Homo-oligomer: A and B are copies of this chain.
Amino acid sequence: MKPIKVGLLGLGTVGTGVVRIVEGHQEDLQRQVGSPIRIEKILVQNPTKARNIAVDAGKLTDDPWDIIRDPEIDVIIEVMGGIEPTKGFILEALSRGKHIVTANKDLMALHGTEILAKAVEHRCDVLYEASVAGGIPIIRTLAEGFSSDRITKIMGIVNGTTNYILTKMSQEGAAYEDVLKEAQELGYAEADPTSDVEGLDAARKMTILGSLGFGVNVELSDVSVKGITGITKEDILYGKKLGYEVKLLGIAERQDDHISISVQPTMVKTSHPISSVNGVFNAVYVYGEAVGETMFYGPGAGELPTATSIVADLVAVVKNLRLGVNGRKVLAPYKEKKLKTDEQISAKNFILLHVEDKAGVLAQITQVFAEHEVSLESVLQHPNANNPKAEIIIITHDANQASMKKVLKHFETMDVIQTIQSVYRVEG
In the complex, identify which listed stretch (A106-114, A297-305, A347-355, A363-371) lies at the interface while the others stay far away: A297-305
Instruction: Mark A72-112 against chain B: 1 for CB-CB distance below 8 A, else 0.
Output: 00000000000000000000000000000000000000000
Q: Specify which of A149, A277, A305, A310 lies most central, judged by the most chain B CB atoms within 10 Å of its CB.
A: A149
The answer to whether B148 touches A308 (Cβ under 8 A) is yes
Residues from chain B with a CB closer than 8 A to the CB of A32 are 147, 331
Mask of A111-137 contacts with B, CB within 8 angstroms, 1/0: 000000000000000000100000111
Does A296 contact B297, Cβ atoms closer than 8 Å?
yes
Q: Is the CB of A298 within 8 A of B308?
A: no
Q: What distance in Å separates the Cβ of A418 from its nearest Cβ neighbour in chain B?
A: 39
Query: Which of chain B's residues have a CB closer than 8 A to the CB of A149?
Result: 21, 25, 308, 311-312
The docked-state distance in angstroms from the alpha carbon of A136 to that of B290 is 12
Any B CB within 8 A of the CB of A31? yes
Q: Chain A 123-162, CB within 8 Å of chain B: the 1/0 string?
A: 0000001000001110011001111111000000000000
What is the total number of copies of this protein in its complex? Answer: 2
B residues in contact with A302, CB < 8 Å: 292
Interface: A294 (CB within 8 A): yes
User: Do A144 and B140 touch (CB < 8 A)?
Assistant: yes
Binding stretch for chain B, among A5-13, A63-71, A189-197, A313-321:
A313-321
> How far is A136 from B149 in the complex, measured between Cα atoms in Å?
12
Given A290-B21, A291-B298; A144-B312 close (CB under 8 Å): yes
Chain B nearest CB, measured from A220 CB (Å): 25
Q: Which residue of chain B has the shortest Cβ distance to A313 in the bound complex?
A: B148
Complex contact B290–A305 (CB within 8 A): yes
* Distance between Cα atoms of A147 and B129 in the complex (Å): 13
Q: Mark A227-255, 1 if CB is under 8 A from B, else 0.
A: 00000000000000000000000000000
What are 7 A-B pairs at a CB distance below 8 A? A25-B150, A141-B145, A145-B312, A146-B312, A148-B311, A149-B312, A295-B298
**Nearest 5 CB-CB pairings of A with B:** A137-B145, A148-B311, A294-B298, A135-B291, A290-B304
Interface residues of A (CB under 8 A from B): 17, 21, 25, 28-29, 31-32, 129, 135-137, 140-141, 144-150, 273, 276-277, 281, 288-299, 302, 304-305, 307-312, 314-316, 319, 323, 325, 328-329, 331, 334
